[in-house]
Amino acid sequence: MIGSLDAIASTIPQIRETKMTRTRIILITVATAIIVAQAVIYYQTGESGAWLSALAMVFVIASMAISFFEEKKSKEE
């Protein structure tokens, strides 16, 4: 899985330009997969799957927190 994420990152120049860490790429990928799963569940069963939205937001917030601390660390150096 990590190799495929590196392949994705190398084909999308914007990801390399923003210097996203591997952890952030994984978190965003997982959040996207959860949102897609929620859409499929809603389409198939009609249930909202609000708990999946909350789970996806946890991954997005974790990615934002990592970004904040990386930026803070780079400013200190």
What would the pLDDT profile of 13-38 be if each residue is shown by its tens digit? 555 555 667 777 788 888 888 888 88
Phi, psi (degrees; rounded to nearest 5) at 47: -80, 145
pLDDT of 1: 46
Once rounded to an integer, what is the mean pLDDT over residues 42-67? 80
The domain limits of the chain are 21-76
**CA 28 – CA 39 distance, rounded (Å):** 17
Average pLDDT, the chain: 74
Count of alpha carbons within 13 angstroms of residue 27, beta-carbon side: 17
Q: Which has the higher per-residue pLDDT, 43 or 13?
A: 43
